[in-house]
Structure formats: structure tokens, C-alpha cells
Structure 1
């Protein structure tokens, strides 16, 4: 059999999703049913942004709803384009965040929650910890829907920030979290029960802990899981931190992945290239990531999906379970400062280098997300430093998280194929 025939044969083999991951739809269903139950019972609800302290909503018996997650559902069902274009007819620019415009369109059109619609909340809670658009987004929708909005301002960690400055930042955020408690009580009548808050915080810690353990298994060659498990599996970390059912799901995922490791089985047969993927996936075309499989390539690490295991991603200090249970609000202020997207370029480059070594990554695919400025602001500098300083191959692809109009499949495919050939030549030499 010739080399080309052998490669064609292996190309037909696809990565296998964990059986446990298939239960994710049940967890998602539970979340949306809880939202409907809250409305039937007249209980308070809140919109929240990614990176915001969703645990504090659960602690004060407020049902969270995350418009970003709803937007991804619209994209996955191939209706985000129509919703985005509807928002643009209302005067919102082509260049604005596609999550934001999907939400504008979904609310304007009144689509149901299972297609990415979202109900009017009691209040909204936004933070700029990951994205500055979050603030303008919720202010805009709060005004349009006549809903009060609470904003949490989080300082960014720039070069040479010392411990004194960091502690000042943390105290600044902590004061805002106590202000959030007062805001919630004012608008819902609910008071903070610290014992309940500790239980919620402990569940959130356990959820992050198991997710971290799942990622540790991806260090193995071959990797036991792929993006088929992590892109969808991310959902509970966004929407249900503090609840027990997602913990059980993650533990099943871990046990199944560990079984693969023990048996020497990989998610992808004939794993040859191990890749990292930086950025938000293009939710309207997740199947596209499977095209890597025909090159025997698999993504083994995504900073975006790991970042929400927030108890284990803070380079300044460890947030232990004991510390969390002693003072959940103080610990949450540290968590707000733990997302990698608020750190300076120097810190991120060092972290990418270490991740490349630990997960034995051959090269990085960097998503230049057209409508997400915070996610891509330093991506060209990141590529330059990784390649020039550490000889780590990188490929930048231009696309969008939720707007399929900005995804040129032929162009992206050609770039990826050329990138794989570069990696192949490196291995041969």
C-alpha cells in the first residue's frame, strides 16, 4: 500500500466523543427548565456575562441566564446570521460583537429559549473582566428592556504589577461584590445566606477541579478527548457553577477518559499532530474542527475552555478550597482577577510556552476573531513572540465566533493544510 493510500485510509477514521459527553443535553435541558420554573414561580432571574460571579446569583437564589450561551445555540442551529442581520437593520454596525447582535436580534424577534432566545430578567449583571463590550451590551439592552443593570469593573493586570497593587485591585473588586449583594437585595428582596453561599462555592470549586483533572488527562499521548467533548462540555462552567448535577457529568467524563488513557486509546486513531487552539470557536461550524482529523491532527488544549476552571488559573495566588469556604466573597474577588484575558502579553507568552511544553503541543492555531477585540487584540504579537522567541509554530486564521458571513472555508482550509505540512516537515527533520 502506498503512502498516499495509507493516509487516505487513516483519513476516514474520526475522533470519538465520550459517551458521557452525550449526557450534556440533559444538563442543558435542566438549566433551561430551571429558567422556565423560575418564571412560573415568580422567582427572580438575571442576565449575566461570562466571567461574572454567577455563583453569587445562585447564592442569593437568583436564576442566571447567559445571553452569550444563548447566542451560541442560535449559531449551532444556523439562525444567528438572520438575527445578526436583523440587529444591523436597527443601526448596529457590521463590526460589532456577533454575540451582542445575535442577542439583539433574538430579543427583537422573540424566539424561544431552545433556539437561543432569552427572557426579560429581573436585573442584569455585567463585568468587563473578559470583554469591554459586555458593559455596553447590557447597558443597551437594560435601557431597551427597562431593566436595572449592575456593572463590575475589573482592573487589567499589566506588566510589573506588584503584590501591593494586586491586593488593591482585589479589594476594589471585593467592594463591588458586596455592592452587588445590596443591589440584589434591593431588587429581589433576597438576602445573602452565607452558609448557602459556601455550599454553592464548594460546588463551583469541585466543578472546576474535575474540569482541571480532565485537562490533565489530555497531556497523555494519545489524547483521550477532543474538542467534541470540550467545546460543548464548557456549558456548565458558564451557566451552572455552584450546582451538583454538572459535577456528576464531569466525573463521568473523567472516568471514561481515564479508562481510555489506561487502555492506551486516543480520541483520534493514529494521532500524529497535537495542536492548541486559542480563541472562541466558530459555533456555527463546530464540525469544521473535524477536518483536522484527516491530517491525523487533534486539538489537545484550548485556553478559552480551560480559563473557566477559574480556581486553577490565577498566577498571582492559589485559591484553595479552605480559603474559599472561609470567605467566599473575598475569594470570588480573586477569581475575578484570574482570567487570562486580563493579563499582559508578557505573562501570556510565558504561559503559552509552558502550556506548549506540558501538553506536548506541535503548533498553535490562533483565531483572529473579527468581532471580538479583547480576544484578539494581541494575537499577532503573541504569534511573533511564540515563533521568534521559542520556535513554536503558529497559524492565524480569520473568522468569527457567531457570524458565518465572516468565515471563508476555502481560505481557512488552505491555510490549515499548509500549516500541517510545515509541522510534518519539522517532524521529518
Structure 2
């Protein structure tokens, strides 16, 4: 555990320890209880994603394994390529406590137990499918359809390049990976902007050329603009929902967000996503207007400040709530605030390149003036805007990209805010590295620290 308590700092880093098979019985319910009615509809949307892919395959429509944050959703939409979101599927298996057989199969194939949990589920799933000659029995939501294409990218982490390449052991499917890049925070944006946008545009064009060769279909710029328009409307309305979440008491908690993210990430460019966030906005607005909170008495407002969520144990957010602590905002799977692409940009691929650059460099100027880290600037912004009492991060054994740097972030936050922080440790997928008893003990102590800090600062 690591947490900041006032100006003090306590750290215990056991990320390198051997994976332990925990003997205690996990809580019977592993998913979280939701606060909003709209979010409860997401489960049906998730089922529909995999059902739609199977139906598309039966009709001869192209399907593709895809990853989040690759910025290509609108291109796929415009070309009628049905995405199969492999990371999402891994999270689903973890939430269903059915990831172990896929993880163990990947490890039996020679893959390390510190490789991304999403990747191990995906590799294990496809290894089993090849071995059995069919979809693994009782796979959640019917399993992932055998794709026609594998579309990776370099955004966020290295497994995004290597995962789909490794799938060549289990399927003979055309594969394409491309760069999604952004400059270092200390770069002169005026100096490097044109280079990065031009390079990103070339990367998108390479993807389009590949898709056109494989599908024998040309990309319609008109259809791409339509998908971009729906996507922008989706993200803006989602952003407006999060502005409502600044209210006290919190109208919508983080555990709802980790369901509400599904249309924005996995249905982007569709009318379904636009309609979902319109409905969610109206519900959250009604809750704000009527001061309807997540718990009867909201004592502490928390920020999920870093790391991916523990998909195997999402009910843990509800455990915090039994102590009067509500996660009112989060910094994972919530990355795109609205940006304004210059009006002179008339080509849709140019637009996507501009939008990518602007999305990833939004807080660079502020970072240069203060902390030097764009992520820290976002956290400081959330702490102020959402009136945060404490920050919790999740260090995950198999995700370096979202874990490395967390301790530094907490140090930096302590320089500017002095509020308590805690680092929980497990994995995004692999429940073998999770201890319910240990987490509850840490959480109880942390909430006590938050209460003590509030008492001191209230004097």
C-alpha cells in the first residue's frame, strides 16, 4: 500500500511479488450496484456488440478485432466494418469471473503472467478456439467471432502492436497496425504541430489504403464526415454529463462511469451512442436538480486517480460507499474533452489527425507552467472542480502503461493539495493477485485518514 496522509507518505511496493492464489472466498457479487437507470441498459448493449458481430459474419460483412483509443472508430463505421473490441471482452470475462481459463491457456502457451491481462485473455481465447475447432464452451456473451481483419495501433502501450501479431499462431488473418502519437510535454507545440499532424494523417491514410484493399470498397468521405459528426456529438454530451457530476451530492459515481463508457468507446460514430448520452444527461440532470445522491449521506468525495479498474471486483466501489465515500470522478477511460479543430480543415482524415493531436496535448501548456506532467494537471483540475477529499489509484500487475508513474503523481499531488491518497494493488483481470481482506483493511484505514484530514482542515 502507498498513501499520503497530510504531509506524510507511506509506501509498500509489492508489485514484484509472486502471484498468489488467494485462499479466501471472494464476495459472491463481483459487479457493482449502479446508481442510474440509464447505465443499467449498458449490459444489453454489450451483449449486442458480440451478437451484431456474429450476425455480420453470417451476412458476409467484414469484422475486425479492434482496440480502444486508436482513433479509427469513424473510419470503420463509414466502411461498414464491424468491430470486435478485444479489450472489452477481456474485461467482460473478468467481471463474470470467467477469465481464468483463458489466462491459464495463454500462460500454458508460453506467455508470461505479467503480460497485459487483456492480452492473455485474448490469446488464451483464440488458442482454445484453434485447439477445439470452435468457440470455447459457455464463453461469455457467446464469445468473440473469428475476425476477418486484425487492426492494432501504438496508442498507450506496446502490447497493442504485439498482441495481434502473436495471433498469427492461431489464425491466418490480415493484420495492420499503425501509430497514434503525441509529442513530449516539453515540446514547443507551435514548432512540432504540423509534423505530428502530417504524420498522423499519413498513418490514417495507410489504414484506409489497407482496408480498401481488403474489402474492395472505397471509403466515402461523406459517410466519414457523418460518423465524425455523431462521434463529436457523443463525446460532447458525455462531457456535459461529467460537468453535472460536479454537484454535491454526487449524482453518478465512478462505477456507473465504467459502464457508461461503453457506448462512447465501443459504439462511437453511431446514433445509439448519441441517444444513450442524451438519455443519461437527462437522468443525471434530474438527479442534480432534486439533490439525489449515490448514498444517503455523502461524507467523502473521492477521485479514482489512475490505473485501470479492477474488472474482477467492481463491487469494491460499493464497499467504499458503505463507509460514506463516493468516487465522484475518475481518470481512466475518460480521456477526450471536446476540442475545436480549425475551420479551415476540410478533409476528414486531416480532421481526424488534427483532433488526435489536440486531444492528447490539451493540458500541455498548464503542465509546463506547473507540474510538468499533463496527467497531474488533469488530476489537479478534477480535485478542484469536483471538491475531492481523497485520491485512490490502482496499480495493476500486468499494465505498466497505467501503473508506472503513479507514485510520482501522488508525490506531485501532495505538493499542491495535501489531501490523502492511496494506492491499491491487484490486476485488471487476474483475480489471483487480489486479496479482499487486504483491500478492505487498506480502505478502512484510508477512509479514517480522509476523515482525520477533513477534521484538521475544518478547524
TM-score norm. by structure 1 comes to 0.90
1:328 corresponds, among 328, 340, 348, to 348
- Find the counterpart in structure 2 of residue 422 from structure 1: 449
- Let me know the Cα RMSD of the aligned residues: 2.2
Could you tell me how far apart the structure 2 residues matched to 1:321 and 1:120 are? 40
Which of the two has greater helix per residue? Answer: 1
Deviations, residues 242-273 of structure 1 (Å, cap 9, x unaligned): 11012212211111110010011112221111
- Worse-matched range after superposition: 331-340 or 135-144: 331-340
Structure 2 runs not aligned, ≥5 long: 1-31, 129-134
Say if 1:397 and 1:412, in contact at 8 Å, map to a contact too. Answer: yes
- Tell me the CA shift for residue 238 of structure 1: 2.0
- Worse-matched range after superposition: 22-31 or 131-140: 22-31
- Worse-matched range after superposition: 111-120 or 214-223: 111-120
Q: Does 1:266 align with 2:293?
A: yes
Q: Does 1:319 align with 2:340?
A: yes
Could you tell me how far apart the structure 2 residues matched to 1:116 and 1:381 are? 42
* Distance verdict in 2 for CA 1:388–1:350, change over 3 Å: same
- Find the counterpart in structure 2 of residue 296 from structure 1: 324
* Distance verdict in 2 for CA 1:386–1:224, change over 3 Å: same
- For these two proteins, the number of residue pairs brought into alignment is 408
* Distance verdict in 2 for CA 1:202–1:381, change over 3 Å: same
- Tell me the CA shift for residue 34 of structure 1: 1.9
Could you tell me how far apart the structure 2 residues matched to 1:51 and 1:131 are? 11
> 1:120 aligns to what SS in structure 2?
coil
Structure 1 runs not aligned, ≥5 long: 1-13, 313-317
- Tell me the CA shift for residue 320 of structure 1: 4.6
* Distance verdict in 2 for CA 1:369–1:166, change over 3 Å: farther
Could you tell me how far apart the structure 2 residues matched to 1:74 and 1:427 are? 39
- Find the counterpart in structure 2 of residue 151 from structure 1: 177
- Tell me the CA shift for residue 409 of structure 1: 1.6
2:84 corresponds, among 62, 65, 75, to 65
Q: Does 1:137 align with 2:163?
A: yes
Say if 1:75 and 1:283, in contact at 8 Å, map to a contact too. Answer: yes
2:309 corresponds, among 281, 292, 310, to 281
* Distance verdict in 2 for CA 1:166–1:393, change over 3 Å: farther
Could you tell me how far apart the structure 2 residues matched to 1:142 and 1:167 are? 36
- Tell me the CA shift for residue 393 of structure 1: 2.3
1:126 corresponds, among 147, 152, 155, to 152
Q: Does 1:21 align with 2:48?
A: no
Q: How does 1:264-413 map to 2 (within 5 A)?
A: 264-277=291-304, 278-307=306-335, 310-312=336-338, 318-320=339-341, 326-337=346-357, 338-339=359-360, 346-413=373-440
Could you tell me how far apart the structure 1 residues matched to 2:124 and 2:342 are? 41
Say if 2:253 and 2:327, in contact at 8 Å, map to a contact too. Answer: yes
- Worse-matched range after superposition: 162-171 or 91-100: 162-171
Could you tell me how far apart the structure 1 residues matched to 2:193 and 2:286 are? 41
- Worse-matched range after superposition: 78-87 or 24-33: 24-33
Could you tell me how far apart the structure 2 residues matched to 1:57 and 1:257 are? 31
Could you tell me how far apart the structure 2 residues matched to 1:342 and 1:209 are? 18
> 1:364 aligns to what SS in structure 2?
strand
